[in-house]
Amino acid sequence: MDNESGTGGGGGGGGGKVVVNRAMSLDGFIAGPGHAMDWVGEHMTSETFPEVVAATGAMLVGRGTYDVAQGMSDENTSYDGGPQFVLTHEPPVEPDPRVTFLTCGVEEAVATARAAAGGKDLEILGADLAAQCLRLGLVDEILVYVLPVLLGDGVRFSPPGEHQVDRIDLEPLATAQSGPVTMLRFRVRK
């Protein structure tokens, strides 16, 4: 079932890859109505694709994603993907020792988080943040976990708006199955 293949380096600079990584319902949503994320925890854990966790050296997260994760149980958010950076225009008043808040531009944020990844991959989490990274040509790969559910509404893989992603061509690299989850990996053509 598993035909995952090696993907080599990317992103320039000889470090790990910059990977947009997300779970998606079959109808193309990465969060349900009201930012519901329960459907992800029902189908997968960090053990579903341990090789992805092992390949990840750091995570760069949009503030929207961070805020949603704050309201979820650790069981559904714990993921040892290395140091976590959160991009925001305004860090919260209360510090959070688990993350580093960044207030710089997207390119600098990616460079900072990539440097902390120690040569492993940098994972980009968040709809708006990922859209900006894709538009700026900063993304090497997109990794999608397709979950066996239709959500009907919610946050789209590529939401409309200021940072809407126009056509980007992708090269299929690998597919893999783990339990109910189908993983699709694509290289971003530049």
Ligand X SMILES: NC(=O)c1ccc[n+]([C@@H]2O[C@H](COP(=O)([O-])OP(=O)(O)OC[C@H]3O[C@@H](n4cnc5c(N)ncnc54)[C@H](OP(=O)(O)O)[C@@H]3O)[C@@H](O)[C@H]2O)c1
Contact residues for ligand X, defined by CB under 6 A: 22-23, 30-31, 35, 37, 40, 62-65, 68, 87-90, 105-106, 125-129, 132, 155
Shortest reach from residue 135's CB to ligand X, in Å? 11
Shortest reach from residue 145's CB to ligand X, in Å? 7
3-state secondary structure of 110: helix
Q: What does the block give as tokens for 66?
A: 């961070």
Shortest reach from residue 47's CB to ligand X, in Å? 16
Q: What are phi and psi of 115, to 5 degrees?
A: -65, -30
Choice between 8 and 74, CB closer to ligand X: 74
Shortest reach from residue 4's CB to ligand X, in Å? 19
Choice between 94 and 119, CB closer to ligand X: 94
Q: Give the CA dihedral 78, 21, 172, 132, nearest 10 degrees.
A: -170
Choice between 59 and 188, CB closer to ligand X: 59
Shortest reach from residue 89's CB to ligand X, in Å? 3
Choice between 18 and 37, CB closer to ligand X: 37
Choice between 4 and 128, CB closer to ligand X: 128
Handedness of CA 125, 131, 133, 139 (dihedral sign): positive
Tell me, letter by letter, the H, E, C secondary structure of 59-80.
EEEEHHHHHHHHCCCHHHHCCC
Distance CA 127, CA 85 (A): 15
Shortest reach from residue 14's CB to ligand X, in Å? 26
Which residues sit opposite 99 in a β-bridge?
A: 84
Choice between 8 and 90, CB closer to ligand X: 90
Q: Which amino acid is at 27?
A: D
Which residue spans within 77-178 are E strands per DSSP? Answer: 84-87, 99-102, 121-125, 141-147, 155-156, 170-178
